[in-house]
Amino acid sequence: MAKTYDSISPDLARWLEQQHVFFVATAPLTADGHVNCSPKGMDAFRVLGPHDVAYVDLTGSGAETIAHLKDNGRIVFMFCAFDGAPKIVRLHGTGRVAEPGSPAFDELRSRFPNYAGARTIITAAISRVSDSCGFGVPKLDYVEGRDTLERWAEKKGPEALDQYRLEKNALSIDGLPALTHGVRARSAEDEFM
């Protein structure tokens, strides 16, 4: 039933990129820190090579994945077949955060739609590729993608998005540093204000 593979094959890459939703899980190094699992949708995931993947990370209410990757790099992606033959695929690896203005972000940005809310691109070097049966995953009908997040980001605009990231994405829920772009650096003067 469950199998491991040496790499992401072209057939598997096509299957991964056809899925409408995937999940990303990370955790901080501290034992009492919160484990995070986030669903991702939209046209956000790319296979870059047999051992490399990336997804465009959109502005959200938290920044756990970013903080955890900066803390230790551990990441797992999970994809489930909700239609067709049952299948679950997990990609374990080491992730990195590419923020706007960095060479990695600039190099990868053109591979994704031009989402107004793009705050980072997460890349990962995959060290383990595995699948399992997925017999317990229900069949679901895909109706359509949601554009609510993108409309929200477009309506806010760049300056308001930066302010939102300052308030919501600078630290994880455990207090780990997350975003640095769009977040004003604190000076010693700020500490006394």
Q: What is the pLDDT of residues 82-114, one digit of tens each?
A: 999 999 999 999 999 999 999 999 999 999 999
The domain in which residue 129 lies consists of 3-135+145-181
191 found inside a domain: no
Q: Is pLDDT at 188 greater than 50 in this prediction?
A: no
The reported pLDDT for the residue numbered 191 is 34
Closest-CA residue to 50 (of 111, 6, 94):
6
190 found inside a domain: no
Q: What is the pLDDT of residues 138-153, one digit of tens each?
A: 999 999 999 999 999 9
The least confident of 1-5, 29-33, 126-130, 182-186 is: 182-186
The CATH number given to whatever domain includes residue 67 is 2.30.110.10
Tally of domains within the chain: 1
The reported pLDDT for the residue numbered 181 is 67
The reported pLDDT for the residue numbered 1 is 63
72 found inside a domain: yes
Assign residue 157 a region (left: φ > 0; alpha: ψ between -120 and 50; beta: otherwise): left
Closest-CA residue to 38 (of 58, 11, 18, 16):
58
Grade residue 2 by pLDDT with cuts at 50, 70 and 90: confident
Buried b (16+ CB within 10 A) or exposed e, 69-99: bbbeebbbbbbbbbeeebbbbbbbbebbbbb
Q: What is the pLDDT of residues 42-85, one digit of tens each?
A: 999 999 999 999 999 999 999 999 999 999 999 999 999 999 99
192 found inside a domain: no
The reported pLDDT for the residue numbered 180 is 85
The reported pLDDT for the residue numbered 192 is 29
The reported pLDDT for the residue numbered 18 is 96
Q: What is the pLDDT of residues 165-187, one digit of tens each?
A: 999 999 999 999 999 866 433 33
The reported pLDDT for the residue numbered 150 is 97
Average pLDDT, the chain: 93
The reported pLDDT for the residue numbered 185 is 38
189 found inside a domain: no
Is there a contact between 130 and 138 (Cβ–Cβ < 8 Å)? no
The reported pLDDT for the residue numbered 138 is 96
